[in-house]
Amino acid sequence: MTTFIQQLINGITLGSVYALIALGYTMVYGIIKLINFAHGDVFMVGAYIAFLCVTYLKLGLLPALIISMIFCALLGMLIEKFAYKPLRNSPRISALITAIGVSLFLENLMQLLMGADSKVFPRLVNEKNYHLFHGKVVVNSKQIYLLVITVLLMLLLNFIVKNTKIGKAMRAVSQDMDAARLMGINVDTTISYTFAIGSALAAAGGVLVGLYYNTINPLMGVLPGLKAFIAAVFGGIGIIPGAMLGGFSLGVIETLVSGYGSSMYKDAVAFALLILILILKPSGLLGKNIKEKV
């Protein structure tokens, strides 16, 4: 039982990172039906921005996190403006290929600027272990920081979407873009804000991963980006609560597979889960099948 609880805690920690990245996927897809495969690399850029802030500007965790989120929000808006906006009325395959191109561009640019080797992320919090159940379950202070920051960001996102003008515009555009435009909503601005918010959340995930694992590299966003996409599809892509549920569920499933089986199989299980959900329930756990009249 204690092993299960330990793996559950580890899974929630890992899942919170997946959830942060998956939120960006699901927000963008919910509005313009685009799978932004460059999103995982925005996550990587966020980690490097925080690394530079801490290493050279000697900033703490919170200032580095905020600067990283602001930088990546602007980066997300630039990517949308120059890479995706010109293709908005093109076939979806064109936008998908462009997203892969942007992903490769960010990875190679970061390797050119920062080198291909891994960097040691500075220790920003005092590490302390808390022992539960007579020392059989260990909770690290970094896990607590990661989970608390994730929950706060998710609550902030929920407030923005449900209680602000831009959040209402985002919901309107996701329902019917043409009708929203007729009601006076600036669709282009709304889409830019969506990319900004999603990219900021991805940056936060990158910073938290750097904090937790103490190492970053230019390709660190590839696998988490794919896993977050699986999480978004698993929960119901285009649905914000689904991205959260999918992220935490995938994190728990992976750690349980590692704890009771082998860590070599956790990636295979994640991709097998994607295949199963696409076969059994393509709309995801929280998604609904929508019939379209032709």
Quick: pLDDT tens for 239-253: 888 889 999 999 999
- Answer yes or no: is pLDDT of 288 > 80: no
pLDDT reading at 212 higher than 60: yes
What is the Cα–Cα distance from 76 to 199, expressed in whole angstroms?
Answer: 5
Q: Which whole number is the average pLDDT over 176-181? A: 90
State how far the alpha carbon of 110 is from the alpha carbons of 6, 71, 267, in Å. Answer: 36, 15, 25
Q: What is the mean pLDDT of the chain?
A: 89
CA dist., res. 89 & res. 258, Å (int): 44
Residue type, 212: Y
pLDDT digits (tens, 9 = 90+) for 198-211: 999 999 999 999 99
pLDDT tens figures, 242-287: 889 999 999 999 999 988 887 788 889 899 998 998 898 888 888 7
Q: CA-CA distance, 136 to 117, in Å (whole number)?
A: 36
Q: What is the pLDDT of residue 130?
A: 83
Q: How many CA atoms lie within 13 A of 53 on its CB side?
A: 22
Name 120's bridge partners.
215
183 vs 177, 186, 206, 240, CA distance in Å?
10, 9, 37, 24
Residue 85 CA to its chain's centroid (Å) = 21
CA–CA separation, 150 and 292 (whole Å)? 36
Residues 254, 137, 241, CA angle at the centre, nearest 5°? 45
Calculate the dihedral angle through the C-alpha atoms of 190, 195, 201, 203, rounding to the nearest 10 degrees: -150
d(CA 219, CA 225): 10
DSSP 27-69: HHHHHH----TTHHHHHHHHHHHHHHHHHHS---HHHHHHHHH
Which phi and psi (to 5°) does residue 132 adopt?
Answer: -120, 160
Q: What is the residue extent of each domain of the chain?
A: 2-280
Please identify which residue in the block is written with the tokens 């923005």: 160
Whether pLDDT at 54 is above 90:
yes
Judge whether 42 and 228 are in contact, CB under 8 Å.
no
The model's pLDDT over 11-42, given as tens digits with 9 standing for 90+, comes to 999 999 999 999 988 998 888 888 898 999 99
Interatomic CA distance for residues 218 and 119, integer angstroms: 9
Asked whether residue 170 carries a pLDDT value surpassing 80, the answer given is yes
Tell me which amino acid residue 95 is.
A
Q: Which residues pair with 138 in a beta bridge?
A: 131
Rounded CA separation 194/127 (Å): 35
The token pair at 57 is: 């500007």
| Residue 290: per-residue pLDDT | 57
Q: Are 139 and 132 in contact (CB under 8 A)?
A: yes
The rounded distance, in Å, linking the Cα atoms of 262 and 249 is: 18
Q: Which fold has domain 2-280?
A: ABC transporter involved in vitamin B12 uptake, BtuC (1.10.3470)
Distance, in Å, from the CA atom of 289 to the CA atom of 169, rounded to the nearest integer, reads 24
Give the model's pLDDT for residue 294. Answer: 47
Query: What digits encode the pLDDT tens for the residues 99-143?
Result: 999 999 999 999 999 998 999 998 888 888 888 877 778 888 888
